Amino acid sequence: MALVGRQFPNIAVDAMNEMGDTFKVNVFEEAVNKGKKVLLFWYPKDFTFVCPTEIRAFQEALPEFESRNTIVIGASVDTAEVHFAWLNTSKNDGGIEGVTFPLLADTNRNLSTVLGILDLEEGEYDEDNDIILAEGSNVTYRATYLIDETGKIFHESINDMPLGRNVGEYLRLIDAYTHVQEKGEVCPANWEKGKDAMDATRDGVASYLSSH
Backbone dihedral region for residue 111 (phi beyond 0: left; psi -120 to 50: alpha; all else: beta): alpha
The one catalytic residue in 51, 80, 167, 173 is: 51
Q: Which of 158, 168, 170, 135 is nearest to 42 (CA)?
A: 158
Half-sphere exposure of 28 (CA within 13 A, CB side): 10
Q: How far apart are CA 49 and CA 181, in angstroms?
A: 37
Is 51 designated active site?
yes
User: What is the 3 state secondary structure string of 40-68?
Assistant: EEECCCCCCCHHHHHHHHHHHCHHHHHHC
Catalytic residues: 51
